[in-house]
Amino acid sequence: MLKDTQLLTELLDDRTKEFAFAKLVSQYKQPLYWHIRNIVKVHDDADDVLQNTFIKIFKNLDSFKGESKLYSWMYRIATNESITFINKKAKRMQITNEEAVNLAINNLEADVYFKGDTIQLKLQKAIATLPDKQQLVFNMKYFQEMKYKEMSAILDTSEGALKASYHIAVKKIEEFLRTN
């Protein structure tokens, strides 16, 4: 794995930009995909958002000032693109974002790219009942096994607040699983 600073230097040099970008895509396509998938739920939608994300990353490389780590900048783009996607989908269907996500979850049982059992489906429904940021925190900590330090840089929230948010999310999910 290339160090962040070395990769960034190569990305900002026109002579090495495309080669460095290929390495970037190779290194981050899976983690970014799963980050997006946990938000949008459906594979085809995640594929669209992933592509939009990489296009945006490439387009904006020259304006990346390096105030944050490269990976946290990319994850922020991926998060924003996912939310924008859900917003557009909801607007098209003239429903709320929450309803759009619930619709996607209710369709998971028939989804070819969902091999989960009853409890996994229930877990997705439980996660969908959480406030938006708590959902992000839970998915990033539980499924993506991110460290609080990494999450703090991406979500621009203190580690303490993230830990508290995670504990609350777990309690709420436990309550949902117990009562549903």
Partner 1 sequence: MLPKKQASGFQVPKDYFSSLEDNVLTKITLTQFPKKSGFTTPEDYFSTINSKDFIIKNNSKPKVIKLANWKTISIATAVAAMLLVFFGLKNQMNPITIENVETVQLENYIFNTPFDIEELATMLEEDTFLTDNFSSFNVDNLEDYLLENTSIENLISE
Site for partner 1 (CB under 8 A): which residue of 68, 114, 133, 176?
Answer: 114
CB of 156 to partner 1, least distance (A): 21
- Binders in 73-112 for partner 1, by CB under 8 A: 108
**Cβ neighbours around 18 below 10 Å, total:** 11
What DSSP character marks residue 95? S
SS3 state at 160: helix
CB of 63 to partner 1, least distance (A): 14
Q: Does 38 bind partner 1 (CB under 8 A)?
A: yes
Q: Does 70 bind partner 1 (CB under 8 A)?
A: no
Q: Does 33 bind partner 1 (CB under 8 A)?
A: yes
How far apart, in whole angstroms, are the C-alpha atoms of residue 1 and residue 97? Answer: 37
C-alpha dist (Å) from residue 34 to 14, 15, 30, 39, 175 = 30, 31, 6, 9, 26
Of 25 and 95, the one with the shorter C-beta distance to partner 1 is: 25
**Residue 28: burial class (beta carbons within 10 Å; 0-12, 13-18, 19+):** buried
Q: Does 142 bind partner 1 (CB under 8 A)?
A: yes
Q: Does 163 bind partner 1 (CB under 8 A)?
A: yes
Q: Does 58 bind partner 1 (CB under 8 A)?
A: yes
